[in-house]
Structure 1
């Protein structure tokens, strides 16, 4: 194995020869390096079951979960190179600072449901339930974020571009039939969804198999375009807004 060792000031790839057993994954090999050769190797992990997203790394140049990447997927004798997520600052060895993602998450308006009906039961179509279930499969491994070339290759884009994980979040909220917030303008102006050129690289690396591009980003782009540029939608907003203003200006007692 070849593992990147270093910190924010710099580092290098270090070679290790690691004994492994059938059925093991890359994270097992990293743990064996910790136990037998380099006890100070830093690697983030938690569940070892592909559900926490903690062990995100780049393995032979591809963003993957170390706990879900079987050693048997590589050729006999092939060197396995493990490096930290390229898009985020290195803290130490394979551990990166992904706090950028949490700062972005804080800017998205939360779910705001409609008032509960008199009988206390919300109702949704089954198709809406199933669509939302796909989006909520996200484990926040941020592999889609690190592979997105808009921020991977252009650090200066981060303040204006939220990335695929959060376009997924926008879509999850906007497509919920009970939600009352309208985040389409934010998706365009704050999240920078227009900068995404739908190469589908985020979908390709998603360990949960979420169709991020087809089911979230493209529909959100369509909603944003409808709101901002569709003349019929624009006229409807103008008329609706004018009606609201006229109602607000009618003196009390003369609403009839």
Structure 2
């Protein structure tokens, strides 16, 4: 059954903007992205919104709906009451380009800073052998659709713009964890994570895990194990002694 819903949509650009009111028809089974498209088609043809698959797999339509980071294509209108005003704003952590579109290039800069998979010397493609448990362990992290909702909600960069230079964020901590836990990756990424990616800034509040549309256990399965590996590498007295002896013999 159709009804008229009240929407507040942020309109503006890098120089500023404000919420604008819209009353728009909602039909059974629709999602927030459907309504944004209807507003675009019938009331605001210049409304800028980024989207692609409309199936929760491309990560393009990230926004904040009633103050919570969400994928608009996966946020059903049935989760709101008919008399509830739905507010849609751009992700707050990234600079606004226009309306609901933000500049997420920060994330691609950080991605390029992570060294790629490094197999042992002499191991050719097709010769890789792994236990199934190792495959499953990293497979969870490969589900990431790069919606950057975890980046958006992480208070380390959401509330502190100056941290962006030294902090990669949860999306790239799971990338580091995936490579560090890979039995065939020989690069040591622990110092990279701590010194260059800002792993120590994370205080494991789990807000990134809560908003992940793919259900990745970012904090428990990636960030905490990475912190433990760094602590063991740097502060375990036996590891320290072994490093000293090894260097002395070398």
TM-score bracket, normalised by the shorter chain, equals: over 0.9
CA distance in 2, matches of 1:158, 1:42: 26
2:149 to 133, 143, 153: 143
Q: How does 1:37-186 map to 2 (within 5 A)?
A: 37-115=43-121, 121-186=127-192
Q: Is the 8 A contact 1:24 1:71 kept in 2?
A: yes
Aligned residues: 244
Contact 1:51 1:139 in 2 (8 A): yes
1:171: Cα distance to partner? 0.2
Provide the residue aligned with 1:20 in structure 2.
26
Structure 1 ranges of 4+ moved more than 4 A = 116-120
After superposition, the C-alpha distances for 1:17-64 in whole angstroms (9 at most, x for unaligned) are 010110000000000011000000000000101001000000000000
**Displacement, 1:76?**
2.0
Where 1:151 maps in the other structure, the secondary structure is helix
2:8 is matched with which residue?
Answer: 2
Shift, 1:160, TM fit: 1.1
RMSD value, Cα: 1.3
Of 203, 216, 224, which residue of structure 2 is paired with 1:218? 224
Structure 1, unmatched stretches of 5+, are: 246-256
Task: Determine which structure has more spread, i.e. the larger CA radius of gyration.
Answer: 1
Unaligned runs of 5+ in 2: 1-6
Q: Are 1:35 and 2:41 matched, yes or no?
A: yes
Q: What is the TM-score of this pair, normalised by structure 1?
A: 0.93
Q: Judging changes above 3 Å, is the alpha-carbon distance between structure 1 residues 119 and 181 closer, same or farther for their aligned structure 2 residues?
A: closer
Point out the structure with the larger strand share. 2
Q: 1:202 pairs with 208, 212, 218, which one? A: 208
- CA distance in structure 1 between the partners assigned to 2:124 and 2:90 by the alignment: 53
1:250 counterpart residue number? none
Query: What is the rounded CA distance, in whole Å, between the counterparts of 2:241 and 2:11 in structure 1?
Result: 58
In the superposition, the TM-score normalised over structure 2's length comes to 0.95
Question: Structure 2: how far apart are the matches of 1:179 and 1:135?
Answer: 16
Deviations 1:60-89 (A, max 9, x none): 000000000000011221011000000000
- Cα–Cα, structure 1 residues 33 and 228, in superposed 2: closer, same or farther, change >3 Å? same
Shift in CA distance, 26/119, structure 1 to aligned 2, threshold 3 Å: closer
> Do 1:2 and 1:14's aligned partners in 2 also have CA atoms closer than 8 Å?
yes
Correspondent of 2:240 among 212, 230, 234: 234
